[in-house]
Amino acid sequence: MLAVAAMAALVVFRGRRAVVATVVFAGLLCGPFFPNLIGQLFIHLEARQRMEFAGRAVAMIFACASVGWAVLPTAMGMIGARHGIRRAFLLPAACGGVLAALLAVAVSGGR
């Protein structure tokens, strides 16, 4: 949720120092995400299952990430051209909010 707040803050902040600090803060928050995701990917599988599913699972993560890093900047550019680049940062903030909501549903067992 802090990364979502950082993206939303980029819409509000106008000063160069505040924007740079927010970008660095967001990078520090998001940087460890991928290695931790890969580390947690196989924690619930037995050793035999890890070997069977390792390649497919990592490939799926890279496929989803590839779509994200191809589509999101393009969509942000389109929004930025029409409404300004600062408002374009609302898109990754909204995507992060959706992911957080999906995670909350998954953790609660879909109740």
Chain segment 87-98, per-residue pLDDT in tens: 998 998 898 889
Please say if the pLDDT value at position 66 is more than 70. Answer: yes
* Mean predicted confidence (pLDDT) in 6-13: 86
Tally the C-alpha atoms within 13 A of residue 46's C-alpha that lie toward its C-beta. 2
pTM over 0.75: no
Q: What is the pLDDT of residue 10?
A: 85
Angstrom distance (rounded) from CA 56 to CA 79: 34
Residue 32 burial class via C-beta count within 10 angstroms: exposed 0-12, middle 13-18, buried 19 and up: exposed
Res 17: pLDDT: 94
